[in-house]
Amino acid sequence: MIKKILILALVFATIISCKNKETEATSEVSENNSLSQILYYGGDIITMDGDIPQYVEAVIERDGKIIYAGDKANAVNNFAGKTVEVDLQGKTMLPSFIDPHSHFMSAVLMSTQVNVASPPMGDVTDIPSMIKKLEKFKEEKGIKDGEWIVGWGYDQDLLAEKRHITKMDLDKAFPNNKVLIVHISMHGGVLNSKALEWAEVDENYETPEGGVVARIEGTNEPAGLLMEMAYMPVFNKLPQPSEDEMMNLMKAAQMQYVSNGYTHAVEGFTHIKDMNTLKRAAKEGRFFIDIASLPGFNEMDKWLNNPEYPFGTYDNHLKFAGGKFTLDGSPQGLTAYMAEPYSVPGPNGEKNWVGNTSIPREELAKLAKTMVSNNVQIMFHANGDGAIEDAIYAIENAGIKAADDKRPIIIHSQFQKLEHLKKYVELGISPTYFTNHAFYWGDVHIRNVGLEKASFISPMKAANDLGIITSNHTDFNVTLLDPFFVMWTSMKRETRSGKILGGDQVIDAYAALQSLTTGPAYQFFEENRKGSIKKGLLADFVILDTNPLKVKDVDAIKDIKVVETIKEGKSVFKK
């Protein structure tokens, strides 16, 4: 019997050596024989099961689930029916990554835009290379004259010219299209002449209060750049894709995740309109990865206890996972709510500036309690220690204790104090950290809050030492959806200028991987479903060109590449 199966396996191995035939063969097998499986072997297979690295020789998938993880010699005893063998050829396999916090709807919209950021976010180095990228995008997407071209992510400080782009830079290449280049801060953008005309911004346009309109020197003629209150109305007026168009963008949005090894994406603050869009996409079978949506507190009256929006279970890969509160802004924008004043004045020169909170403490506590009593998991965006204290207050007030296993999540938890972590343990709070900040804005934080406070940003080591389960996110599209960059920032904590921010908080590669697999699985109550490789869990895998646990130079972590991403046994991305 075994011999016959092995022969069959060999036949299949021969068939799948041709890339195109593999999917054909696999789908044919699953149609004809429910007892068909895939055997993975021949490389490092990290299970992420347990507190120290564990390897197995072989993994078998059947019907989207893991039916075996262990020695290769014993694996054959688990064969029944047909088996496709996949030789990893020395590559590394581990559970695919689980995004703890990002904004999936941004990925949907960004599928219609082009990345014109500089390294590490993108590859634009100067204005000519940006123009070239925009031209290529126009051609590839078949964008016609008169239509919009939107690019995102430019940072004037990272361009060789060290200046903002102007409409003159854009007009030469795009005389007949409306062009908008969104600034990396998302608080401004540069428009070309056609777009300025559309926005009705000309020499007679008065700069609104709290806004910035760049003008050509010595004239009143707009130069292209609009910021803050001058940019917002333009941004809000931009044509949005229709729901039908959105449906067609769902695949491209998911590809951004799977090409980075993620098979679970979070929609980090979902409006009712988008909840309906996601529901339609799920119903139409458009999701091939899991989407966890966090409906916003501000529309709670529309979704709480509404049978249209059941919480906590997947339906066609879509789950409404928890209620989301946004308590403050961002520390680099001086809008994170701090317990003590910033070292610098506020955005408008305010003294003793502590930032803003968006919900008064008592109101927050009331809303959180309502969600908890309706069995909705609560999740708080809190960056500053003031906002974190408000979240702790609301959790405590809702009567939650660690033993209740309610897993309230504090998203970002960036500028927290050591004493907060004791409360996290007591109340069972799990933080999802954001170590990418150390690189992107670490130097800004040192200036804004001082070196000592900045050094304790996203204290992963301190939290892990207390046994707190943590995760680490990109907040995409705030930073790049790249798990290896996330790993690197948590293992090195180096700022753009090369300073190490809180060297005592660096974690090792295994802990960094936990924060992308088992950590987020726990936070979404899915540790018995995904995040590690063991019998009974989903066959969600990522195959890497290098084993992150065997990389000696921390900087080389950034260079690891995803070779293949597998969701429930099906290959969803292949390099």
487-514 core/surface letters (b: 16 or more CB in 10 A; e: else) = bbbbbbbbbeeebebbeebbbebbbbbb
Contact 358, 327 (CB under 8 A): yes
Q: Which is nearer to Zn ion, 94 or 382 (CB)?
A: 382
Please report, for residues 83, 317, 569, the alpha-carbon distance to residue 80 in angstroms, rounded to integers and kept in the order given. Answer: 8, 29, 17
CB contact set of 406 (below 8 Å; sequence gap of 6+): 372, 377, 378, 400, 428
Task: Take residue 304 and report the two structure tokens written for it.
Answer: 């709480």
Sign of torsion over alpha carbons 379, 385, 390, 393? positive
Of 179 and 429, nearer to Zn ion (C-beta) is 429
Q: What minimum distance in Å lies between the beta carbon of 324 and Zn ion?
A: 9
Task: Return phi, psi of residue 560, to 5°.
Answer: -65, 140
Closer of 25 and 109 to Zn ion (Cβ): 109
The helix (run of H) or strand (run of E) holding residue 151 is strand 148-154
Chain-centroid distance, C-alpha 428: 24
CB of 180: closest distance to Zn ion in angstroms? 22
Q: Which range in 140-148, 268-276, 352-360, 559-567 contacts Zn ion by CB under 5 A?
A: 268-276
Least separation in angstroms between CB 297 and Zn ion: 14
Number of residues that bind Zn ion (CB under 5 A): 2
Ramachandran quadrant class, 413 (left: phi over 0; alpha: psi -120 to 50; beta: rest): left
**147, 150, 156, 159: CA torsion to nearest 10:** -90
Judged by CB under 5 A, the stretch of 135-143, 185-193, 467-475, 523-531 that binds Zn ion is 467-475
| DSSP summary character for residue 103 | B
* CB closer to Zn ion out of 270 and 571: 270
- CB of 335 vs Zn ion, minimal distance in Å: 14
Q: How far is the CB of 424 from Zn ion (least distance, A)?
A: 20
With CB under 5 A as the contact rule, which of the stretches 191-199, 225-233, 267-275, 369-377 interacts with Zn ion?
Answer: 267-275
Residue from 95, 153, 261, 268 that binds Zn ion (CB under 5 A)?
268
Choice between 44 and 475, CB closer to Zn ion: 475
Q: Which is nearer to Zn ion, 384 or 548 (CB)?
A: 384
Helix locations, 493-571, DSSP H: 509-514, 518-523
Amino acid symbol at 465: D
Long-range pairs of 276-281 with CB within 8 A, sequence gap ≥ 24: 277/105, 277/243, 277/246, 278/318, 279/308, 279/309, 279/318, 280/243, 280/247, 281/246, 281/247, 281/250, 281/318
Site string for Zn ion, 516-535 (x = CB under 5 A): --------------------
In angstroms, what is the minimal distance from the CB of 330 to Zn ion?
10
Helix axes 2-16, 19-32, angle to 10 degrees: 140
In the complex, least distance from residue 164 CB atom to Zn ion, rounded to whole angstroms: 26
Least CB distance from residue 476 to Zn ion, whole Å? 9
Give the interface segment with Zn ion, choosing from 14-22, 265-273, 484-492, 538-546 (CB under 5 A): 265-273
Dihedral sign, CA of 501, 504, 510, 512?
negative
Please identify, using beta-carbon distances, which residue of 12 and 380 lies nearer to Zn ion. 380
Min dist CB 474 to Zn ion, Å, is 9
Residue 431 binds to Zn ion (criterion: CB under 5 A)? no
- Binder of Zn ion out of 61, 475, 540, 568 (CB under 5 A): 475
Q: Smallest distance from the beta carbon of 271 to Zn ion, in angstroms? A: 14
Which residue pairs from 226-233 have beta carbons closer than 8 angstroms and sit at least 24 positions apart in sequence? 226/188, 226/189, 226/190, 226/191, 226/199, 226/201, 227/183, 227/187, 227/188, 228/187, 228/188, 230/201, 231/187, 231/188, 231/189, 233/199
- Show the binding pattern over residues 175-214: x = contacts Zn ion (CB under 5 A), - = does not: ----------------------------------------
Between 44 and 267, CB nearer to Zn ion = 267
- Rounded to the nearest whole angstrom, what is the least distance from the CB of residue 381 to Zn ion in the complex? 6
Compare residues 274 and 475 and give the one whose CB is closer to Zn ion: 475
Q: How far is the CB of 523 from Zn ion (least distance, A)?
A: 14
User: Which residue's CB is nearer to Zn ion, number 178 or number 412?
Assistant: 412
Q: How distant, in Å, are the alpha carbons of 6, 55, 526, 532, 546 from that of 45?
A: 22, 5, 21, 11, 11
Q: 268 or 431: whose CB is closer to Zn ion? A: 268
Name the one range near Zn ion by CB under 5 A: 89-97, 175-183, 266-274, 565-573.
Answer: 266-274
In whole angstroms, give the CA distance from residue 57 to residue 434.
33
Residue closer to Zn ion (CB basis): 194 or 445:
445
Other CB atoms within 10 Å distance of the CB of residue 108: 25
Greatest Cα pair distance in the chain: 87
**Closest to 458 measured CA to CA, from 467, 477, 471:** 471
355 with 337: CB under 8 angstroms? yes
CB under 5 A: which stretch of 73-81, 345-353, 474-482, 558-566 binds Zn ion?
A: 474-482
Q: Which is nearer to Zn ion, 482 or 564 (CB)?
A: 482
From 60-68, 163-171, 264-272, 567-575, span contacting Zn ion (CB under 5 A)? 264-272
- Interacting span for Zn ion (CB under 5 A) from 171-179, 263-271, 453-461, 516-524: 263-271
Binding site for Zn ion (CB under 5 A): 268, 475
